[in-house]
């Protein structure tokens, strides 16, 4: 078993970003320590609205490059509504990182835990376990990734481009079907639904056509097609009926917050952004300025993103034991809810950021946590 050091670039960012990032690194450390897998080296990179306010740059010099030199990138949250560019938009170096490293596959799990937070009264909502797969480099975010890409016509009109390319869309759908095969091996079933607006937009008809083409290569996986407006309805009406939802960038952004809300709130919304050579892991939520600095943020989205990071490194570094460390984080969160040991303030509970993080880390270190969810 290799115990070569793992290097993770850490961008804590703004608002609650630093607090939830500290929680994620603590959980990662606890998981690798529990399995005796050696140490993780963290290299911090300063970026965000705070840095922009101080220096006029959204990331420290050389930060974009150094982020890509690590084995993976861990990010908290970036942005403050009070800090804006001259064009009126916020500070978004993370969009640029997605573009530079072509992190096209935004994996955003939406999962209900037993005794965990619920927003739907229907008992079937206990079975929610789906993945929003959000294309993360193009779509309607293409103009936003790099400032100045929008077409500004004096003070009378602004045009943004919705870009769908065959190359990225083929990779995205292939990623979706490969993920479906992995989930089928574990759960016995898999369904990939293409979520689009192919009734109206040519770009979306193209997105769906490529979905159909890629699907032909995966006859073992069930497929579905849904318009995004109907999908929003279905996610409230019968979210348990879905498995992997693959969609354009902007749709994925919006549907992700709906997904977080379904299983409690944004503090449950983890995220992996994966490209061919790099991966960035961050909660799907923002910097939550309304609760920043009060120890109120739920760190579970960041902690679960840390689990996704370890799972990613298992494959990237060819160290399968790191996937066990990732599962240990997942098992600890599962056990924490199952045994009612985790009670975040986000859901009216008593536990602040540090308390939730400490509880998860303690559970990670207890032998009975191993394989907990598979035994329950
Ligand atoms: N990936 C990123 O770094 C993102 C950054 N942002 C930025 O964050 C700032 C705030 O944006 P908002 O639209 O308010 O979205 P937000 O996700 O920060 O907050 C939305 C709501 O969810 C709550 N919330 C979010 N995360 C939480 C957590 N971990 N625990 C408990 N409650 C949580 C907040 O208190 C707020 O009520 C903006 O500057 C925005 O641009 C927004 C989304 C993603
Ligand atoms: C740049 C971010 C503010 C976009 C966003 O909301 C997200 O990535 O989920
Ligand atoms: Mg978002």
pLDDT tens digits, 216-252: 999 999 999 999 999 999 999 999 999 999 999 999 9
Position 350 pLDDT exceeds 60? yes
Distance 78 CA to ligand 2 centre (A): 9
Q: Which listed ligand is nearest to 294 at the C-alpha?
A: 1
Position 112 pLDDT exceeds 70? yes
Distance 319 CA to ligand 1 centre (A): 34
Query: What pLDDT band is residue 272 in, cutting at 50, 70 and 90?
Result: very high
In order of 13, 76, 95, 236, 291, the CA distances from 83 in angstroms are: 13, 17, 16, 34, 17
pLDDT at 344 (0 to 100): 98
CATH-assigned architecture of domain 118-262:
3-Layer(aba) Sandwich (3.40)
Tokens of 373: 């969810």
Distance 206 CA to ligand 2 centre (A): 25
- 131-156: average pLDDT: 94
CATH, domain range 1-92+277-376 = 3.40.718.10
Query: What pLDDT band is residue 148 in, cutting at 50, 70 and 90?
Result: confident
ipTM, two decimals, is: 0.99
| 266 close to ligand 1 (CB < 6 Angstrom) | yes
pLDDT tens digits, 64-87: 999 999 999 999 999 999 999 999
| 92 close to ligand 2 (CB < 6 Angstrom) | yes
Please check whether the two domains, 1-92+277-376 and 118-262, share a CATH topology: yes
Residue pair 340/7 in contact (Cβ under 8 Å)? The answer is: no
| 120 close to ligand 2 (CB < 6 Angstrom) | no
Position 3 pLDDT exceeds 70? no
pLDDT at 374 (0 to 100): 87
| 106 close to ligand 1 (CB < 6 Angstrom) | no
- Closest C-alpha to ligand 1, atom 34: 288
Measure the CA–CA gap between 363 and 21, rounded to whole angstroms. 19
- Closest C-alpha to ligand 1, atom 22: 266
| 95 close to ligand 2 (CB < 6 Angstrom) | yes
| 264 close to ligand 1 (CB < 6 Angstrom) | no
For residue 210, give the nearest of 181, 178, 172, 249 by alpha carbon: 172
- Closest C-alpha to ligand 2, atom 5: 253
Distance 367 CA to ligand 3 centre (A): 36
Domain boundaries, the chain: 1-92+277-376, 118-262
Query: What pLDDT band is residue 153 in, cutting at 50, 70 and 90?
Result: very high
| 116 close to ligand 1 (CB < 6 Angstrom) | no
Distance 324 CA to ligand 1 centre (A): 30
């Amino acid at each position: 078993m290799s115990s070569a050091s793992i290097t993770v670039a850490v961008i804590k960012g703004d608002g609650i970003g630093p607090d939830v990032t500290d929680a994620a690194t603590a959980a990662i450390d606890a998981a690798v320590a529990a399995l005796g897998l050696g140490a993780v080296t963290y290299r911090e990179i300063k970026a965000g609205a705070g840095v922009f306010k101080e220096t006029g740059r959204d990331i420290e010099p050389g930060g974009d490059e150094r982020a890509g030199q690590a084995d993976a990138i861990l990010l908290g949250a970036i942005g403050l509504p009070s800090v804006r560019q001259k064009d009126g938009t916020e500070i978004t170096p993370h969009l640029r990182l997605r573009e530079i490293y072509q992190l096209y596959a935004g994996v955003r799990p939406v999962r209900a835990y037993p005794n965990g937070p619920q927003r739907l009264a229907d008992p079937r909502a206990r079975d929610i376990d789906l993945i929003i797969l959000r294309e993360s480099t193009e779509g309607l975010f293409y103009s936003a990734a790099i400032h100045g890409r929008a077409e500004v016509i004096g003070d009378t009109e602004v045009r943004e481009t919705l870009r769908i390319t065959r190359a990225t869309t083929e990779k995205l759908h292939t990623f979706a079907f490969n993920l479906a095969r992995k989930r089928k091996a574990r759960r016995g079933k898999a369904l990939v639904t293409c979520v689009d607006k192919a009734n109206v937009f040519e770009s979306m008809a193209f997105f769906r056509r490529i979905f159909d083409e890629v699907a032909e290569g995966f006859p073992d996986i069930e497929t579905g097609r849904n318009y995004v407006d109907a999908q929003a309805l279905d996610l409230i009406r019968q979210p348990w009926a879905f498995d992997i939802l693959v969609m354009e960038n902007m749709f994925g952004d919006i549907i992700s917050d709906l997904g977080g809300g379904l299983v409690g709130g944004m503090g449950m919304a983890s995220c992996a952004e994966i490209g061919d050579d790099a991966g960035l892991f961050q909660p799907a939520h923002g910097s939550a300025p309304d609760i920043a600095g009060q120890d109120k943020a739920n760190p579970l989205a960041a902690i679960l993103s840390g689990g996704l990071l370890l799972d990613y490194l298992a494959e990237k570094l060819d160290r399968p034991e790191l996937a066990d460390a990732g599962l240990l984080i997942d098992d600890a969160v599962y056990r924490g809810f199952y045994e009612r040991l985790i009670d975040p303030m986000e859901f009216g509970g008593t536990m602040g950021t540090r308390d939730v993080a400490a509880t998860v880390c303690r559970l990670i270190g207890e032998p009975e946590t191993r394989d907990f969810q598979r035994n329950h």
